[in-house]
Structure 1
Amino acid sequence: MTAKNPKNRYEIAVVQGDGIGPEVCGAGLAVMRAALGGDGILNFSEYRAGANCYRDTGTAFPAATYDACKAADAIFHGAAGIPGVTYPDGTEAGLDFGLQLRFRLDLFANIRPVKLHPGVSSPLSDAARTGIDYVILRENTEGFYAARGGGNLVRDDIASDTGIITRAGTERVVRKAFELSRLRNGALRDGRRRVTVCDKANVLRSLAFFRKVAQEVANDYPDIELDFALVDAMTVHLVRKPDFYDVIVTENMFGDIISDLGAATVGGMGMSPTAEIGDRNGFFQAAHGSAPDIAGQGIANPYGTILSAAMMLDWLGDRHGDARLTEGAERVRAAVAGCLTDGNLPGDLGGNARSDRITEDLCDRLAVMA
């Protein structure tokens, strides 16, 4: 546990990435500067990684970028990957940046808030009345994705990947889920703090083990309700009763899938911030991809990246006991709420606001707040 020790200045490693990455990343940087009154608190240093980097240099994640990310107080990212820019095995080269960060920096907790903001419509008919506000906590270093690069292909006839679940990995992510629940106000439906374990314990021995370990950890949190859902049923529950959920904790691949489903209920991937954190490092980006088909057109939705910036400020502020950062995060969220409520919506939310106009509006609001 890091001692609460505010710094005069925090070093942020910035990787803009591919496709719309530079556009949404630039919006996030501008909004943070506006929220904090300039560059006095955060020092942004840019580094290369991703598909374009691989195409230009032959490496998707240069050693210098990794060293800078490891040493930085936090890592801020736009988006990565371009379809067709692949390794010889067919996997996307650009994705290695985020995947390697997770494993090499042990960013075990992937935190994905799913929240329906005022001014944003949902395809769920009751969402405007009941609201949607829960968190998916995805174990980030184990599960089926741990097999990337290590699977087997035999004679071009048989392919296999192996999922990995450990006691230590499960204990720490489940404990993080309970700690997150303690910081929240409970589920919208009944106000109860609740941790839901999402698994496939009825079929897979590894996920039955995940559930067993989660039950053991829950004994340390008698103030929080423990709930279970099979992953296939969860895809129904997140549509039928999203207001029942507070914090959902799950395996890596399951978390990837249900968080995209959750995003679709609150406006899409452009409204989905993400924090990937470990004991020392934190990596912040929107959950969406690089959308190269709209890159350079000025129509990308920057809200997800901007909300990820707010998560970064919160994490840094809490880690170092620095109220300047946590207050900045609150201002960013308030500006986003005001901007959305007033109808400043990009195309994917049914509006026609361009990325630069949204960013300008947010910065104007933050200038008044600051």
Structure 2
Amino acid sequence: MINISPFEATTQYKSIADEIEKNVCAVMASGRYIMGPQVKEFEIQFAQYLNCEQVISCNSGTDALHLALRALKIGAGDEVITTPFTFIATTEAIGIVGATPVFVDVELDSYNIDTQLIESKITERTKAIIPVHLYGRPCNMTAIMEIARKYNLKVIEDCAQATGATWEGKKVGTIGDVGCFSFFPTKNLGCFGDGGAIATSNAEIAARAEYLRRHGGKVKYHHEELGLNSRLDTLQAAVLLVKLPYLDQWNAARKAITDFYLEALSTTTGIVLPQKLHQGNSVWNQFTVRVLGGKRDIIQKSLQAKGIGSMVYYPIPLHLQEVHADLNYVEGSLPVSEQLSHEVLSIPLFPELESSAQQVVVESVKEVMADIYCLQ
């Protein structure tokens, strides 16, 4: 039976297994399992890749957001504007530092924060904007930075799904004050567990983030602030050092698969395909379509019956999550995000997805859509 998963990690590993195992074994033989030299080397190389001054690694993308907010001294009583159509980590970090998330709806065609709605949500308590480059597609950073400068706000880019994406020639994560990255295994640059990093060209932000990730102390056993234990594991750094040089190649493969999907599915009834960018460059962490007519769930089940896996990112927007009930958003308050939560479906996309498998995915989608929409 056909079985094509939305994401598959072992093929990529096999293609670089010798390099991975060499680096990992070197770490194990060294005995330097915490903050070994591979961690600093990865930070240097990733900063060079992004073309920013400094990268501070940590143990997850969630902690990267947390550290960024702490480094910018955002906390209790402050408001942070962000999108409701993303993973909980974005607002989790805001809440953990004591600040309040303020949601701005997204654009229907880009899935990203609607920059035309941001100014209406700014108050005297607003301290920052966290745009999320969802599915690998960069937000309109030109508009966001103009607003940030106008109101003296900080910008923290959530780049968890967009490592390598660009906007007007700059890598995402280097346009705002801080960029936050995740190296979760399903990301474009993924390690073999949890991992994350912040990127910045501000020396003060980098210094604060660096000591906050080590229990809030600049000198061992001397602690100026309550910090975190959020160091990137040396083994994960060793893996990332091998993978980083392949990132652009893998992102190009994602784009090639996307181009095939866009062409092959262009006339398929019942779905709306993601739009190509006129500015910037997406790295296509996901290929996410909109399924019309309230038939997303049955389409997903029908694809699964054919052996085609898919995922829904995200079925409940953050403003309607129980954890944010105290913010008093009601159903209908952010209609585009709510609409997308009922329509989006991500089909298989990873660099190693072979042409024959891509063809099977396309044929299966067409067959299912034709059957469900009674076009045969």
Q: What TM-score do you get using the length of structure 2 for normalisation?
A: 0.29
Higher Rg: 2
Larger strand proportion, structure 1 or 2?
Answer: 1
Q: What TM-score do you get using the length of structure 1 for normalisation?
A: 0.29
